[in-house]
């Protein structure tokens, strides 16, 4: 018996400690968390061939177990082979039992993509941050833009006059 098939034969935790699904998919496929896409695909194909229900059709006693394992292997591969789902799974945000989670899944994938884009942006310099703080402290009206830079469209923010207060009661 190969070690990959035995790694996922335990409970849902996959023997990795942590939460209910912390290491389940990785252990199920018999791979490490830092496995490449090629490693994931190779492990999936090996286990899918081994546990495909058609291979166990002649043994009705084992056919049910083979079908259950094959379905779990497919589920693990569908998550780990999808970059967005894998990132959510690794972050502990992916719940394979919640079918109504598609909107949240889409939201989280969009957020992860935005976070990747932010990492690539040039950070503000110390001078920019000091200027922003100075503008805040001095009550700058924002007409110069962020960090004292003038907005490219020349737009200025309008200042609203304070609510008039009466000096005395009538």
- What pLDDT shows up at residue 117? 72
- What pLDDT shows up at residue 8? 37
Question: What angle in degrees, to the nearest 10, is found between the helix axes of 102-119 and 83-90?
Answer: 90
Q: Among candidates 102, 75, 107, 97, which has minimal Cα distance to 20?
A: 97
Q: Over 60: is that where the pLDDT of 124 sits?
A: yes
Percent of the chain scored above 90 by pLDDT? 25
Q: How many CA atoms lie within 13 A of 127 on its CB side?
A: 2
Please give the Cα distance from 86 to 72 (Å, whole number).
Answer: 16
- What pLDDT shows up at residue 84? 81
Q: Over 90: is that where the pLDDT of 20 sits?
A: no
Q: What is the chain's mean pLDDT, rounded?
A: 73
Tokens representing 40 are 């994931």
pTM of the predicted model as reported, rounded to 2 decimal places: 0.50
The full set of domain ranges for the chain reads 3-119, 124-150
Ramachandran region, residue 30 (left: φ > 0; alpha: ψ -120 to 50; beta: rest): left
Superfamily, domain 3-119: DnaJ domain (1.10.287.110)
pLDDT tens digits for 79-122? Answer: 999 888 888 888 887 776 665 556 666 777 787 777 777 766 67
């Amino acid at each position: 018996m190969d070690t990959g098939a035995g790694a996922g034969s335990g409970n849902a935790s996959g023997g990795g400690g942590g939460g209910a699904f912390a290491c389940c998919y990785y252990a199920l496929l018999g791979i490490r968390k830092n496995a490449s896409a090629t490693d994931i695909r190779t492990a999936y194909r090996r286990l899918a061939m081994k546990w495909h229900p058609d291979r166990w059709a002649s043994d009705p006693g084992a056919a049910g177990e083979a079908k259950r394992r094959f379905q779990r292997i497919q589920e693990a591969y569908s998550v780990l082979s999808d970059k967005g789902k894998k990132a959510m799974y690794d972050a502990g945000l992916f719940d394979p039992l919640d079918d109504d989670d598609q909107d949240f899944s889409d939201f989280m994938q969009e957020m992860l993509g935005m976070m990747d884009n932010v990492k690539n942006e040039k950070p503000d310099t110390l001078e920019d941050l000091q200027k922003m703080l100075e503008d805040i402290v001095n009550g700058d009206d924002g007409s110069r833009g962020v960090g004292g830079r003038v907005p490219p469209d020349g737009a200025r923010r309008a200042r609203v006059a304070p609510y008039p207060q009466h000096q005395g009661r009538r």
